[in-house]
Amino acid sequence: MAINLEVPRKHRALIDQAHQVAMNMLRPISRKYDLAEHEYPKELDVLAAMIDGLAESGASEGAGATGVRRDANGDDGKSAVKNGANMASVTSIAEMCWGDVGLMLSFPRQGLGNSAIASVADDEQLKRFEGKWASMAITEPSFGSDSAAVSTTAVLDGDEYVINGEKIFVTAGERSDCVVVWATLDKSLGRAAIKSFVVEKGTPGLKVERLEDKLGIRASDTAVITFTDCRVPKENLMGSPEINVEQGFAGAMATFDNTRPLVAAMAVGCARASLDLTRDLLAQAGVEIDYDRPAYLQHAAAAKFVQLEADWEGARLLTLQAAWMADNRKPNSLEASMAKAKAGRVGSDVTLSCVELCSSVGYSETELLEKWARDSKILDIFEGTQQIQQLIVARRILNLSSAELK
């Protein structure tokens, strides 16, 4: 099956709409909510309503947090190559993050928890949680990227699971309507016993303890949430309640195959914003980038800029490949981690290098370059750090298990 990573014609209108929103609605309030950390960006309510309307009408082409669902019945094995909801999501998210990453992460009903629900929920759960804003709670005080170390417990008691534990760094943890919580059914059975549960806000025992002050993405709230004898209906467990030791952690980790390309797209969008502005600022300083001349024959700043663009293009293409594979129902765990690793690293490198290239202008708050450098760093950390992604890629390429390659 051939792969074409050109932007699909059917998605161009959606991408253009996302770019207009980023330029005319997100950029103008970007600095405001960077300075007013923890203040809810009320301007997003109107935009969220517009996105909901587009989704209901079908005009959004399945883009957004819920667009990552793979249609199990949508491929007869003979159909043409698809550029579907995953491709629409990563391309539109990149455009929105060209505007502002923190604001994009603050959109109601577009949280990473929504992507998790779309990835693994059954049809009944999809309908029941439709219209909810879902955050995702994985990380705990005792671990960072090692998701298999989850110690939050879920114990079945009659028709309910009783959840106990603490989660940190929960994006949109205060503002969301519900939280997708990773918990273990039996710690002694290891990774295979880890499941995800949807816990609605207002459930007794769920408490938002505090909000974190952060380096970047300040418009997005990041919370610490505790669960104390928190009882949720057993129907809120996503996926099978059975513990399949042979399958191991694969069921829970399948969520990341869909969400990691989204985070890679965020880094791609933020980095492109820096490149676009830096090109303009260099031109104003008399440094023109000439693509018809070798880099070593140009100004040092121009040569550096060309190298940054080349790295950025590699990240963009890997992101599109991971999304394309998801749309065509191909296993993409390797490609999702490759995209996340490359885009996360390139995003930080590009945005910091652009600050350096633009000198005092880049470092000051007169432009958004310094903000994008702060925002981009988290994209190399959450949803699995750079080091974890490289470890996953190595395991896939060498065909080794997590026990064999740590």
Domain finish residue from 108, 127, 146: 127
State the CATH number of the domain containing residue 183.
2.40.110.10
Cα–Cα distance measured from residue 303 to residue 295, given in angstroms and rounded to the nearest whole number: 5
Based on the fold, state whether residues 101 and 31 are members of the same structural domain.
yes
The pair of structure tokens assigned to 388 is 């974890």
Q: What is the mean pLDDT of the chain?
A: 91
Average pLDDT of 208-232? 98
Closest CA to 8 of 96, 85, 74, 99: 85
Cα–Cα distance measured from residue 268 to residue 344, given in angstroms and rounded to the nearest whole number: 8
Domain finish residue from 112, 127, 142: 127
Based on the fold, state whether residues 205 and 264 are members of the same structural domain.
no
Domain finish residue from 127, 157, 181: 127
| pLDDT at position 10 | 85
| pLDDT at position 70 | 58
Summarised one tens digit per residue, pLDDT across range 85-116 is: 889 999 999 999 999 999 999 999 988 899 88
Based on the fold, state whether residues 42 and 170 are members of the same structural domain.
no
Residue 200: pLDDT band by 50, 70, 90 thresholds? very high
pLDDT value at 58 more than 90: no
| pLDDT at position 73 | 43
Question: Measuring CA to CA, how many Å separate 218 from each of 33, 148, 353, 391?
Answer: 7, 28, 22, 29
Cα–Cα distance measured from residue 376 to residue 348, given in angstroms and rounded to the nearest whole number: 6
**Residue of 403 and 287 predicted with greater confidence:** 287
- The reply to whether 313 falls in a domain is yes
Q: How many CB atoms lie within 10 A of CB 10?
A: 12
* Cα radius of gyration (the chain): 21
State the CATH number of the domain containing residue 374.
1.20.140.10
Summarised one tens digit per residue, pLDDT across range 325-349 is: 999 989 999 999 999 999 999 999 9
- Domain total of the chain: 3
Based on the fold, state whether residues 213 and 269 are members of the same structural domain.
no
Q: Please pick, among 309, 313, 383, 404, the residue that the annotation labels catalytic.
A: 383
Based on the fold, state whether residues 260 and 394 are members of the same structural domain.
yes
- The reply to whether 70 falls in a domain is yes
Global pTM value: 0.93
Summarised one tens digit per residue, pLDDT across range 239-288 is: 888 887 655 555 567 778 888 999 999 999 999 999 999 999 999 999 99
Average pLDDT of 205-231? 98
Cβ(169)–Cβ(381) below 8 Å: no
Based on the fold, state whether residues 330 and 230 are members of the same structural domain.
no
56 is catalytic: no
The percent of residues above 90 in pLDDT, for the chain, comes to: 73
- The reply to whether 405 falls in a domain is no
State the CATH number of the domain containing residue 35.
1.10.540
| pLDDT at position 246 | 57
Based on the fold, state whether residues 384 and 281 are members of the same structural domain.
yes
Give the list of residues 6+ apart from residue 300 with CB closer than 8 angstroms, or none.
none
- The reply to whether 4 falls in a domain is no
Based on the fold, state whether residues 257 and 394 are members of the same structural domain.
yes
Full residue range of the structural domain in which residue 184 is found: 132-238
| pLDDT at position 80 | 62
Based on the fold, state whether residues 276 and 383 are members of the same structural domain.
yes
